[in-house]
Structure 1
Amino acid sequence: MTKLTTPYYLIDETKLLRNLEIIQQVRETSGAKSVLALKCFSTWGVFDLMQRYMDGTTSSSLFEARLGYEKFGKEVHAYSVGFSEKEVKAVAKFASKVIFNSLSQLKRYYSFVSDKRLGLRINPGISYSHFDLADPARKCSRLGVVDQDEIMKIAPLLSGVMFHFNCENDDFKNLTTAIDYISKKYGSLLEKLEWVSFGGGIYFTKEGYPIEPFCEKLKNFSEKFGVQVYLEPGEATITQCAELVTTVLDVVHNEIDIAIVDASVEAHMLDHLIYGTRAKISAPEPGRYRVMIAGRTCLAGDVFGEYKLRNKLKVGSEVRIADAAGYTMVKKNWFNGLAMPAIAVRRFDGTVDVLRKFRYKDFKRSLS
């Protein structure tokens, strides 16, 4: 592998394939289709591999829907928390399904998409999330329709519904209980539909997840109501398949050694800052040397975390931040004018392709 200039995101096709093969297994065993959640991962340079194992994409905006249509192909599920009229008219030209977040949006824009397979997001009032910030059924949630009677009134306009009520749910028992609850509460509606999406946030590619019972649950639900089941995996698709590769620029000491790398939590792995989580390190290996690894922006809290590593870090040391695919490249930003990490892919044969580099002109063009 040719030495690349850090920082860069490195996606590993072999590790990505491991997740895709599990998705394929679920598709074949349960009959459920999987569409990639572009809000989590939109790096289209690896879509040629992903599209062999998935049924299409699902989006949260016009731009994501268009990207899925142009670069992934297959099914395009166009959803948004709030469409403008212009956006609805645009997605109507290429979307396979248009899914509305509210009854008011469905009624307002129905005439523009009446020839499409239409869906509605339902908030079932139950959810699974480690964080209130990401809880789809949190108090006063704007995500999805709650009123069951109103939903039944517009049922003739729908071909399907979406229940996106999970976030990193690796608890199969919890998911089983939730599906049973939905079956009981919405049974009369489900019998009228062609398809049902259980959304994303189901961590079924996690090591040790009970795949066979999971598939059986999905298949039984599909057969009971005569519907096509969809899953919308985001992080489940790309978990553990990428690293953010960085280099130590300086080491300072303030009660603890602090290694400053040429990347940033706020600019390049923002979710760790938002949720207050600690990034995982894939290299150097664990050991007894205590160190804080921090980003290079002026934000005082731009810190990846504290670690105990085998090797003492010094200027020029390489540090690899693990699990760097989900909600990273889609959220990277120009804070402090830092150069964004390049995006690279390690192919199956071990060669590395650089898909994109970012330069000053990209920073300049992103502003006025």
Structure 2
Amino acid sequence: MTELATPYFMIHEDKLIENLEKCKKLKELSGVKLVLALKCFSTWGVFNIIEPYLDGTTSSGPYEVMLGHETFGKETHAYSVGYSEQDVLDVANKSDKIIFNSQSQLNRFAHLVPDSCKVGLRLNPQRSAAGQDLADPARPFCRLGVRKSILESNIAEKISGVMFHMNCENKSVSSFSALLDHITENFSDLLAKLEWVSLGGGVFFTYPGYDLEALAEKLKEFSELHGVQLYLEPGEAVVTKTTDLVVTVVDIVENKKLTAIVDSATEAHRLDTLIYNEPATVAEADEDGEHAYVIGSCSCLAGDQFCEAKFAVPLEVGQRLTIADSGGYTMVKLNWFNGIKMPAIYCQRSNGEVELLNQFGYEDFKRMLSINSVSQ
């Protein structure tokens, strides 16, 4: 693939299918339905690979709802932290389920939802498994979901289901099971009156070594106990380790440490690396190597770097590096900071063929900022 101009994302179909086969197994063992979290991954050019394995999509904003409805099909779940009236009008007739974040939004907008769309409410169980405070859906004073203590006494008459989102990259079956036990202890009376429950995303069941059978058993037990159809909303679990960001070293500078500057930036192309201070992984690195480098971005932000890594041989200008595991929360967060060239997006099919899904140029950058100049 040396003829492809960097930077670019490469989605690998065979790796994606490996994760999807685990999704299939979880569904078969537990009866859970899986809806793809578009907030994590919305590259619809590969939805034809994902669609046979999953039951639909779930969204966090109006445009994601429209995208899921138009390009994926099956079930379309709509959720937003804050709907406007126009948002509800735009998405309700395209959705199978619409989930409100608060009772005030539910009471204000439920009458706009057609009978064909089921109404739900997000609940905050006030417990979670999240490694980062920024992403903790049960953090103090959190605006996400309704606490049990303020639920209206007749809430079950207004909804057919609820959503709990309480995990972020949770790799522990026992931790997730404890959260389900907590929900059972606190919400059993309400769940007995409902048809469905979404347990949100952040359950990292495709992670190497994860006990998929134990998770399936717990999900089946919970579903049968409360008589509800369960949903999970995987995002990262679907695309983990499926996608690379390929970059080129454009310069090497020294300031007590050597920095290899590449033609990409975390600020623009891999934002969560910067937000969560979680170093990226370079596939070509060697932890026993003698040559250490900071892998620095080409943006003007001083702290914008991918990671520090060691290599067996010195890096050279013009050398390509592979930023591994770059599928989740990357392409959905691309931006034009510094006017840096936007990565193209490719998919390498299982037969080795490489397909272009999208590419971007100067006109895309220009059009995003204005389409007309101000009249003098």
Q: Is the 8 A contact 1:284 1:320 kept in 2?
A: no
Name the CA distance, whole Å, in 1 between partners of 2:66 and 2:29: 30
Aligned to 2:17: 17
Cα distance in 2 between the residues matched to 1:94 and 1:259: 47
Q: Give 1:318's aligned residue.
A: 320
Percent identical among aligned pairs is 53
Q: Which runs of 5+ in 1 are unaligned?
A: none
Structure 1 pair 104/202, CA: closer, same or farther in 2 (3 Å)?
A: same
Q: How does 1:56-135 map to 2 (within 5 A)?
A: 56-113=56-113, 115=115, 116-135=117-136
Indicate if the aligned counterparts of 1:123 and 1:146 stay in contact, CA closer than 8 A. Answer: yes
CA contact (8 A) 2:122 2:145 kept: yes
Give 3-state SS (helix, strand or coil) of 2:335's partner.
coil
Tell me: CA distance 1:151–1:34, structure 2 relative to 1, closer, same or farther (3 Å).
farther
Shift of residue 285, structure 1, vs aligned partner:
4.4
Q: Distance in 2 between matches of 1:174 and 1:145?
A: 22
| Structure-to-structure mapping, 1:183-194, within 5 angstroms | 183-194=184-195
Residue 207 (structure 1) aligns with: 208
Cα drift, residue 149 of structure 1: 5.2
Partner of 1:173: 174
> What residue is the counterpart of 2:6 in the other structure?
6
Using the TM superposition, name which of 321-330 and 144-153 deviates more: 144-153
Map 1:1-368 to 2 at 5 A.
Answer: 1=1, 3-113=3-113, 115=115, 116-148=117-149, 150-286=151-287, 287-368=289-370
Q: Answer yes or no: is the 8 Å Cα contact 2:286–2:309 preserved in 1.
A: no
Deviations 1:39-63 (A, max 9, x none): 0000001000100100000000010
Once residues 302 and 152 of structure 1 are traced to their aligned partners in structure 2, the CA distance between those partners, rounded to angstroms, is: 50
Which whole-Å CA distance do the structure 2 matches of 1:258 and 1:94 have between them? 49
State the alpha-carbon separation in 1 of the partners of residues 40 and 152 from structure 2. 29
Q: Distance in 1 between matches of 2:73 and 2:150?
A: 36
Distance 2:324 2:137 in 1: 27
CA-based RMSD of the aligned residues comes to: 1.0
SS at match of 1:16: helix
Conservation of the 8 A alpha-carbon contact between 1:152 and 1:189 = no
Q: TM-score, normalised by structure 2?
A: 0.96
Q: Do the aligned partners of residues 157 and 350 (structure 1) sit closer, same or farther apart at CA in structure 2, a change above 3 Å counting?
A: same
* TM-score, normalization by structure 1: 0.98
Q: Deviations over 1:67-105 (max 9, x none)?
A: 000001100000000000001011112100000000000
Residues 284 and 311 of structure 1 are in contact (CA less than 8 Å); yes or no, is this contact kept in structure 2? no
1:222-281 CA deviation, whole Å, 9 max, x = no partner?
111110000000101100000100000011111111100000011000001111111111
Q: Distance in 2 between matches of 1:114 and 1:190?
A: 23
Deviations 1:317-363 (A, max 9, x none): 11110110000000010000011100011101011111111100000
| Number of residue pairs the alignment of both structures matches | 368
Tell whether the 8 Å contact from 2:62 to 2:91 is kept in structure 1 after alignment.
yes
Shift of 1:3: 1.8
Q: How many Å separate the matches in 1 of 2:286 and 2:256? A: 23
Name the CA distance, whole Å, in 2 between partners of 1:129 and 1:62. Answer: 26
Deviation larger for 309-318 or 70-79: 309-318
Mean alpha-carbon deviation: is it higher for 303-312 or for 203-212? 303-312
Q: Cα offset for 1:172?
A: 1.2
CA offsets per residue over residues 282-328 of structure 1, 9 Å max, x none? Answer: 12444221111101011101111111112211111111101100000
Deviation of residue 114 (structure 1)? Answer: 5.1
CA contact (8 A) 2:123 2:146 kept: yes
Between the aligned partners of 1:76 and 1:148, the Cα distance in structure 2 is: 30
Aligned counterparts of 2:148 and 2:190: Cα–Cα separation in 1: 13
- Per the TM alignment, residue 151 of structure 1 is displaced from its structure 2 partner at its CA by 4.2
The CA deviation at 1:137 is 0.5
CA contact (8 A) 2:198 2:230 kept: yes
SS of equivalent residue, structure 2 residue 310 = strand
* Unpaired runs of at least 5, structure 2: 371-376
Give the C-alpha shift of residue 2 in structure 1: 6.0
